[in-house]
Homo-oligomer: A and B are copies of this chain.
Amino acid sequence: MRVLLVEDDPTIGNAVRDHAASQGHAVDWATTIAQADAFSDVVDSDLILLDLQLPDGSGVAFLKRLRGRRNMTPVIVLTARDQISDRIEGLNAGADDYLVKPFDLGELAARIHAVARRYGQRTTPIIQLGDVEVEPAERRLTGPHGAIDLSGREWAVLDCLLRHPGTIVPKSRIEDALYALGSEVQSNTVEVYVSRLRKKLGSSHVVTVRGLGYRMDVA
Contacts and interface: CB of A to CB of B under 8 A. Distances in A.
Contacts of A113: 168, 212
Contacts of A138: 166-168, 215
A121 B138 CA distance: 21
A173 B107 contact: yes
Given A42-B81, A167-B138, A212 B23 contact: yes
B107 A152 contact: no
Contacts of A211: 19, 22-23, 109, 152
A213 interface: yes
Interface in A67-118: 81, 84, 100, 103-107, 109-110, 113
A133 to B, nearest CB: 13
Number of copies: 2
A86 to B, nearest CB: 13
A212 B139 CA distance: 11
A28 to B, nearest CB: 14
A22 B100 CA distance: 29
A21 to B, nearest CB: 10
Interface of A: 19, 22-23, 41-42, 81, 84, 100, 103-107, 109-110, 113, 138-139, 151-152, 166-168, 170-173, 175, 209-213, 215
